[in-house]
A = this chain, B = another copy of it.
């Protein structure tokens, strides 16, 4: 029904081989290094080692699109062609960093490619593309419903040739990470502007700026997602030079819109890989265990659950591929309906698929002995990341009603 480009197919094969040779065999070592690290958020030796290997075989910055081909060696992948690569990476949750393809750095790099000044790009984009530093994207605030971006309250006030930031953020992925150096921070530079979509700005803030405190790591369902982590941040008169403003004061909402489409979709792609791997593990499990005198795989309800997992993964994958294709054809703005459909459907569906696969593993399925529990947390967490399902459903419902009953 559809075919990937030659380029994509070749990279899929190369990536699959790399996963087989270097990633799956190192899952235990990665877990051990993380367990033994001096801090939960230290950089791990194995990561550097694997990054070097990946880069050596050209599996690097695969997320870069053809529009920004100058930033990569492979010429750029469309969203459609990148999807199967992201799915493969999703089978091991920490693996995207190996290929410099992990959130939130990919989105941040895109922001810099699209909206960064030459100086900003040189200072921050270059080391990010090199994997030398990591970055965060600071939008969500603890005290307001941030799914409505106009609720954001962090203040960005002008003072001479500086901006002064005051406020709180949380769920700032990667902010805990030892390697992380730079934050893109969303706040209000013009809170009294009548047009509520022109009140926000996005500005670059170095992690070690005085007044900026990384308060604590946060967990979701018990996971700290180390070593990247999710942090709470306090901004207390944080002073930033004027040239750190992105695109221009008052254009933060515009940047947010441009950033979120691909980011949402990348999460979904990876989740499909995580669910697909869970299904494959479940198949192995039910063939290897017996209860009440026969293999689990011969129980009808087990087969029914396996079939549901297969069909749901397949449907999610197709929905996502069509979304990617529409994004490629129409720009993300033209694909808002499909992006919302994917974002509000795929994480919940994959959460359910993984839940069934865990259940087929007995109590062990919930433990760190398998990749499923962490994948479940990832799916659950994605139902909030970049806005709760309900917000996307509301937006999509409105679009569909307008389409069929608009006046």
A residues touching B (Cβ–Cβ < 8 Å)?
A: 1-2, 80, 140, 142, 144-148, 151, 170-171, 218-223, 279-280, 283-284, 286-292, 296-297, 299-311, 314-316, 318-319, 321-322, 325, 337-338, 340-341, 344-345, 355, 359, 362-369, 373-374, 376-377, 380-381, 383-385, 388-394, 396-398, 400-401, 403-405, 407
B319 near A314 with CB under 8 A, answer yes
Minimal Cβ-Cβ distance residue in B for A376: B221
Which residues in B have their C-beta under 8 angstroms from that of A364?
142, 170
Which residues in B have their C-beta under 8 angstroms from that of A220?
363, 366-367, 373
How many copies of this chain does one complex carry? 4
A393–B303 alpha-carbon span in the complex (Å): 7
- Name the distance in Å between A173's Cβ and chain B's nearest Cβ: 11
Which residues in B have their C-beta under 8 angstroms from that of A398?
297, 303
Which of A302, A309, A338, A374 has most chain B Cβ within 10 Å?
A302
Would you mind naming 25 contact pairs between A and B with Cβ atoms under 8 Å apart? A2-B2, A140-B363, A147-B291, A171-B363, A220-B373, A221-B221, A221-B222, A221-B366, A221-B377, A222-B373, A222-B377, A283-B403, A300-B301, A303-B398, A306-B396, A306-B400, A307-B340, A307-B341, A307-B393, A310-B337, A310-B400, A311-B344, A314-B319, A315-B318, A366-B381
Which residues in B have their C-beta under 8 angstroms from that of A221?
221-223, 366, 373, 376-377
A291 near B1 with CB under 8 A, answer no
B394 near A307 with CB under 8 A, answer yes
CB within 8 Å for A147 and B344 given contacts A315-B316, A390-B304, A400-B279: no
